[in-house]
């Protein structure tokens, strides 16, 4: 109470010039902080704005020096469905991303639990191998893996892209392991005292407490598979019926001409589901990333 009573007296004794300087410094800090934020927002929004403006141009104006549409052709978003079976491609992308994400979580959660909450021989070695797998370029393993899927007769389908996520995804294991380390082990021990085994402790205690980390991991995996181009090009390039949306853009490229307005319209439609997903899941995503890596 004494400190609160003395505060107005100290403020009253401050010279007007000092008060003005303090208020001016606060305003400058506010302007500087928000200016940087606005500048960063503009930088990140420019590519999206460019895609949208190009998508509503005429074909002969797209990718020219004129960046603003002389005529607005919103019918381009309808024409892309007439040029290519985008709904079929959308279903392939959704199947690939959703099933691969589910497989990554099913395999990564138990592995991350074992690396973070259990103690067993070779644990550190397995974790180092997981980190090494993250650093390993995909070009090193793509030849033997492709040969394996060819021998099994599964090229031309989405199976070679989806199945590996059910066995091992190094990044998902690493991310979840780091998040699980932030959860005190006392909760797991208390669940075991109440009669839970390892699986029950993981399912009933750890997973509900780790929802932000799991959501962040799921979003990373979904975004990667949704935007994946190299994998589908390698395994499904010979079969258009199994193309995802990332390959569908090739449908608007002719031998001597690229319809950039339709290409950008298709790109905008491909970006829309990911943007909507991020808007609704951004709180869990940011929270999961914030707490991941606090402990090592």
- 172-215 pLDDT, tens digit each: 999 899 888 888 888 888 888 888 888 888 888 888 888 888 88
Yes or no: say if 210 and 179 are a contact pair by the CB < 8 Å rule: yes
Q: Which residue has the higher pLDDT, 256 or 114?
A: 114
Q: Which helix (H) or strand (E) holds 19?
A: helix 16-55
Alpha helices for 119-244 (secondary structure H): 123-135, 138-152, 159-162, 170-180, 185-193, 198-201, 207-209, 211-227, 230-236
Query: Could you tell me the two tokens for 295?
Result: 């402990």
Q: What are phi and psi of 120, to 5 degrees?
A: -150, 160
DSSP 70: S
How many helices (H) and strands (E) in the chain? 15, 0
Q: Could you give the 3-state DSSP secondary structure of residue 44?
A: helix
Copy the structure tokens of residue 91. 């279903």
Q: Go through the domains of the chain in sequence order and give each one's CATH number.
A: 84-293 (1.10.3720.10)
* 165 vs 13: which has the higher pLDDT: 165
pLDDT exceeds 50 at position 156:
yes
Q: What is the pTM of this model?
A: 0.78
- C-alpha–C-alpha distance, residues 51 and 67, integer Å: 10
Confidence tier at 17 by pLDDT (50, 70, 90): low
| Separation between Cα atoms, residue 242 and residue 154, nearest integer Å | 12
Cα 164 to Cα 287: distance, rounded to the nearest angstrom: 28
Dihedral of alpha carbons 78, 84, 90, 93, sign: negative
């Amino acid at each position: 109470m004494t400190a609160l009573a003395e505060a107005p007296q100290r403020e009253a004794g401050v010279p007007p010039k000092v008060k003005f300087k303090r208020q001016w410094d606060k305003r400058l800090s506010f302007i500087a902080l928000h200016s940087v934020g606005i500048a960063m927002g503009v930088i990140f929004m420019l590519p999206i704005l460019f895609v949208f403006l190009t998508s509503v141009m005429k074909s002969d104006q797209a990718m020219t020096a004129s960046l603003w549409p002389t005529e607005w052709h919103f019918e381009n978003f309808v024409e892309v469905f007439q040029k290519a079976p985008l709904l079929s491609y959308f279903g392939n992308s959704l199947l690939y991303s959703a099933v691969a994400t589910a497989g990554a979580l099913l395999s990564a959660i138990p592995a991350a639990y074992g690396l973070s909450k259990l103690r067993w021989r070779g644990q550190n070695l397995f974790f180092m191998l997981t980190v090494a797998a993250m650093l390993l370029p995909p070009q090193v393993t793509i030849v033997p893996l492709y040969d394996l899927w060819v021998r099994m007769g599964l090229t031309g389908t989405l199976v070679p892209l989806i199945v590996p996520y059910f066995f091992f995804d190094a990044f998902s294991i690493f991310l979840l392991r780091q998040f699980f380390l932030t959860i005190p082990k006392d909760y797991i021990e208390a669940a075991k005292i109440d009669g839970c085994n390892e699986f029950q402790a993981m399912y009933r205690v750890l997973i509900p407490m780790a929802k932000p980390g799991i959501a962040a991991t799921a979003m990373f995996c979904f975004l990667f598979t949704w935007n994946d181009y190299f994998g589908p090009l390698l395994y499904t390039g010979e079969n258009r019926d199994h193309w995802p949306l990332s390959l569908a853009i090739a449908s608007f490229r002719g031998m001597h001409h690229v319809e950039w307005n339709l290409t950008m319209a298709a790109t905008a439609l491909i970006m829309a589901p990911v943007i909507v997903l991020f808007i609704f899941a951004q709180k869990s995503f940011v929270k999961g990333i914030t707490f991941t890596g606090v402990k090592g």
